[in-house]
Structure 1
Amino acid sequence: MSLGDQHGARGEDGGYGGTGQTRTRLPDSAGDVHGGARRGGRSSSRSLVTVVGVVVLLIAAIAFANRGGGDSDGEAGGGNKPGTAPTAASGDQPVKSKAAGIPSGFPQNKQGAESAAANYAAVLVSADIFKPARRDEIVQQVFVPDKVAALKDKLDKAYSKEFLSNVGLDENGNAAAGQTYVSRTMPVGTKVTDYSDSTATVEVWCTGVFGTAGDDSKNPVSNDWFTMTLQLRWAESDWKVDSFSQKDGPAPVNGDNTVSPSDEISKAVEEYGGFTYAR
């Protein structure tokens, strides 16, 4: 699942006025459905390579964690382009409030921009974006004021009744009886590529699960990896989105996981809540 293709087609500019779109990627083969058989077994040599690889990663992680020290990325700067950021979380609370159910009140520094970008990525590629009333709330809260009206109009046209019907949803963005539409994004990491007191460019590496869980689903739930780039602007005492775009990956090799039945996926979506993301 990545921004740019959930509407089935992409404009020449790759999105709506630079905002991007969302897509649901259909599985590449009929074998990728819920309840499908487990993949064939791996050879013992492959298993050994996997174990060795995991051990190497653990050693590298421990070594990195023991480096200690910090950096000044959390402080406001002027137009600088930082290099590689630390992978460890800062440990600071990102926000203490929400608006329209979305975290708000991010601090005016790099760390605040990264936290805002991660939370906005999660909500912009969510099942709520298909629901007209909820979509209006999201756009109002997430985007800079001068982009709200135009964006609402463009998204309403994009998520038309015809489009929603094509992906198995009614005009209110609800799935058919017995089915659950899944669109949940999990940020894996963030990186600031440009920053000033009033603007920031943040890349958010994401994974997620997307599709329709239920009997006779033509769009079974699968996972995807993508990177969103969000152009942020300081407005109304908070970080807001000015525009965003997406690209595929980086994506790892798929794991040898047993595919869960659709009812288990639906239950997980209902029972497992989301998070407030922080740098």
Structure 2
Amino acid sequence: MSLGDGASGEGDGEYGGVGQTRTRLPDRPGDVYGGARRGRSSSRSLVTVVGVVVLLIAAIAFANRGGDSASSDGNGDGKAGATPTAATGTRPVRTKAGAIPSGYAHDQQGAQSAAANYAVALGSTGMFDTSQRHAIVDAVYAPAVAAARQSDLDKAYSNEKFLANIGLAKDGTAPSGETFVSRIIPAGTKTTKYGSESATVELWYTSLFGLSGEGSTNPVSESWYTTTYEMAWINGDWKVTDFTQKDGPVPVGRDQKASTADDMTKAVEEYGGFTYAR
């Protein structure tokens, strides 16, 4: 029996009505729904099965081709562009500088992993503490630009007006009973330019920022950005030399109820971050 027959609406007594299942009776001479019909149904089923098998084989071939491409591009064959994130088997980092992963592979995958991990550090609450900020800048930026960036960032993060606007005290700490949240979650990376000594990497990410607490006037909110990092291969590792930032792409928001301040605080305290690898 084919679904098409059951929904045809033909007025034969063997139907229970439109859209209902037809029960096939034993073959009778001249039965229009008997043996002749069955042969046609078998032929149609065979064609359908063959078509599905062909599509499945094509899909598997396409998927395998995509995986090979991603692996080749991720290993730094000189091509620039985005590829689906896939496991390559390459260890993301070998060491760490303080709490920041370091020792990235000298290829596109290494440059993208470095950009993602450096962005997480630069967008963390550690940037609001002087000693932690200095350690982050020294680990992330190239030596030639680190000193200048350090000075600029010190001025920005010690600006009392800026700190007051986001609800922090002069020393960058949160008010009593509130938790300061500043976290970057990478969504994807791509290399737009690549050479053995330099790379340009774009990072698309979402950012959580604000104060979690019952009395917060600056609750934790979500934003989306794309940052372009200029990277240089220096002393056996990738370092940032410059960056630019732009808004989006921003997805459509869902109608989800915002969590309570207590739930948000628990999430930030209980869920740790990741070491990102392309």
The TM-score range, normalised by the shorter chain, is: 0.7 to 0.9
Q: Which AA in structure 2 matches 1:147? A: V
How big is the shift at 1:92? 2.9
Partner of 1:90: 88
Partner of 2:102: 104
Moved more, 199-208 or 161-170: 161-170
RMSD: 1.8
Residue 154 of structure 1 pairs with residue 152 of structure 2: yes
How big is the shift at 1:122? 1.2
Moved more, 206-215 or 195-204: 206-215
Partner of 1:131: 129
C-alpha deviations, 1:63-97, integer Å up to 9, x for none? 699702413223445xx552342233434320132
Partner of 1:116: 114
Of structures 1 and 2, the larger Rg is shown by: 2
Equivalent residues in 2 for 1:218-237 (5 A)?
A: 218-237=217-236
How big is the shift at 1:169? 1.6
Partner of 2:170: 171
Aligned to 1:263, what secondary structure does the other structure show? helix
Equivalent residues in 2 for 1:10-21 (5 A)?
A: none
Q: Which AA in structure 1 matches 2:101? A: P
Partner of 2:276: 277
Moved more, 118-127 or 137-146: 118-127
Q: Which AA in structure 2 matches 1:220? A: P
How big is the shift at 1:246? 0.9
How big is the shift at 1:222? 1.0
Q: Which AA in structure 2 matches 1:129? A: M
For 2:60 and 2:217, the matched residues in 1 are separated by 44
Q: Which AA in structure 1 matches 2:73? A: D
Provide runs of 4+ in structure 1 moved above 6 Å: none
How big is the shift at 1:250? 0.9
Partner of 1:73: 73
* 1:117 and 1:202 in contact (8 A); partners too: yes
TM-score, scaled relative to structure 1: 0.73
Residue 188 of structure 1 pairs with residue 187 of structure 2: yes
For 1:232 and 1:64, the matched residues in 2 are separated by 36
C-alpha deviations, 1:115-165, integer Å up to 9, x for none? 101111111111111111110000000000011111111111111241223
Work out which structure has the larger RCO, using CA pairs closer than 8 Å and 6 or more positions apart in sequence.
1
C-alpha deviations, 1:9-65, integer Å up to 9, x for none? xxxxxxxxxxxxxxxxxxxxxxxxxxxxxxxxxxxxxxxxxxxxxxxxxxxxxx699
For 2:206 and 2:89, the matched residues in 1 are separated by 22
* 1:129 and 1:135 in contact (8 A); partners too: yes
Structure 1 runs not aligned, ≥5 long: 1-62
TM-score, scaled relative to structure 2: 0.73
* 1:161 and 1:170 in contact (8 A); partners too: no
Structure 2 runs not aligned, ≥5 long: 1-58
Whichever structure has more helix as a proportion of its residues is 2
Aligned to 1:105, what secondary structure does the other structure show? strand
Specify whether residues 251 and 100 from structure 1 end up closer, same or farther in structure 2 by C-alpha distance, changes over 3 A only. same
Aligned to 1:254, what secondary structure does the other structure show? coil
For 1:180 and 1:269, the matched residues in 2 are separated by 9
Q: Which AA in structure 1 matches 2:107? A: N
Moved more, 82-91 or 93-102: 82-91
Q: Which AA in structure 1 matches 2:248? A: G
For 1:122 and 1:64, the matched residues in 2 are separated by 36
